[in-house]
Amino acid sequence: MESSSKMNLVLKLYQNSSEPIFFFDKDNKLIDMNPAAKEILDPKVQKSLLSRLDGGMCLVCRGYMNEHEEMTCQGCYMMNQQKDFSSFQVYLETRNRGIVPYIASYQLIDKESGVHAFMLRDLTKQLEVKDTLYKSNLMKKTINAQEMERKRISRELHDSIAQELISSLVELRVLKYMNISAEVRDKIFQTETSINRLLEEVRNLSVELRPALLDDLGLEAAFRTHFKWLEKNYGLLVHFTAEMGGTRFNNEVETIVYRICQEAVFNALKYAKVDEVTVRLFQSEELLELIVEDDGVGFDTNSYESQGTGIGLYGMRERAELVEADISVDSKVGEGTVVHLKIPLSKL
């Protein structure tokens, strides 16, 4: 009775398993398959497999992964009886999904008859998760590397080139008080003006690359300085309010918030045809939130055509994903645009 009960359990497992199971005899001829295995194979292929004298899974197998190649038929799992094939990756041509990767096991289950069981587990979801994680980590490393390089160049501009320009200005100003002709003095004045202009451009470039205030004092100070610079150079008035209470966050989060805000405000400046933008940075109970709003020309988000470089909105979304943040861009033609970033405080 006990033996019969165990056999029933085994049969139920075989029939109801969501994982495909195939049985092959000692000559690698397919002798049976469970319903899950039939699901992944075209009926004509099933018929061909069951009628073939030998050849195993060659009709649908596109190779397996070994230590040297991702997809190979060398040392086939059905032909190489000496190697351990208790767990390996194999690629099969399926009925509706094309070539699918599986984790497979090919094992002898009956020594006397030489019957082997070939069991599969679909790897698609695991590989998609792995691929997403890999892309996310790669994106993080790329953005971090970019920010580190921006910081290095910014410091180099500020500490080296800007200082050299200031030294040149000091020397020129000393020359003005020497006994020189009016013509030379005029030339010195022109050169001084040019160097002052160049010095201002170097400072602006340094701040644009990576504002030192962002690292030293945080988001609020960096934003206020950036918005004053925008007003001075472009005439864009930014109404900025911060409800942070001096709170600081990790470097990655502060950089992402700063870059997304910077991109959103520049987009408003370039495309919205406005002179004023409203920016609000605040904490709710569970979120760090950024809102950038303008009353400009707006656009149809359903039929958005890239303007300029075409990477602004895409870049903002990519950065938001790095900290599992939600970002929405709401806009209507003639009704302005609102960019809303929400970062879970649990992720900070």
pLDDT, position 3: 59
The confidence band for 309, taking pLDDT boundaries of 50, 70 and 90, is very low
What mean pLDDT is predicted for residues 244-272?
89
Q: What is the pLDDT of residues 74-87, one digit of tens each?
A: 888 888 877 888 88
- Percent of the chain surpassing pLDDT 70: 93
Written as one letter, the residue type at 222 is A
Domain ranges of the chain: 2-122, 124-210, 217-348
The confidence band for 280, taking pLDDT boundaries of 50, 70 and 90, is very high
CA distance 4 to 23: 21
The token duo for 26 is 């000692």
What mean pLDDT is predicted for residues 275-290?
92
Q: Which of 153, 261, 260, 267 is nearest to 210 (CA)?
A: 153
Q: Is the pLDDT of residue 143 over 90?
A: no
Alpha-helix residue ranges (DSSP H) falling in the chain: 2-16, 35-40, 43-51, 124-156, 162-176, 182-209, 212-216, 219-234, 251-267, 312-322
**Which fold would CATH assign to domain 2-122?**
Beta-Lactamase (3.30.450)
Q: What is the pLDDT of residues 159-211, one digit of tens each?
A: 778 788 888 888 888 887 787 888 888 888 888 888 888 888 887 777 777 88
Classify domain 217-348 at the CATH class level. alpha beta
Range in 156-165, 292-301, 305-314, 322-331 the model is least confident about:
305-314
Strand order in the sheet with 88-93: 30-33, 21-24, 115-122, 99-110, 88-93, 61-64
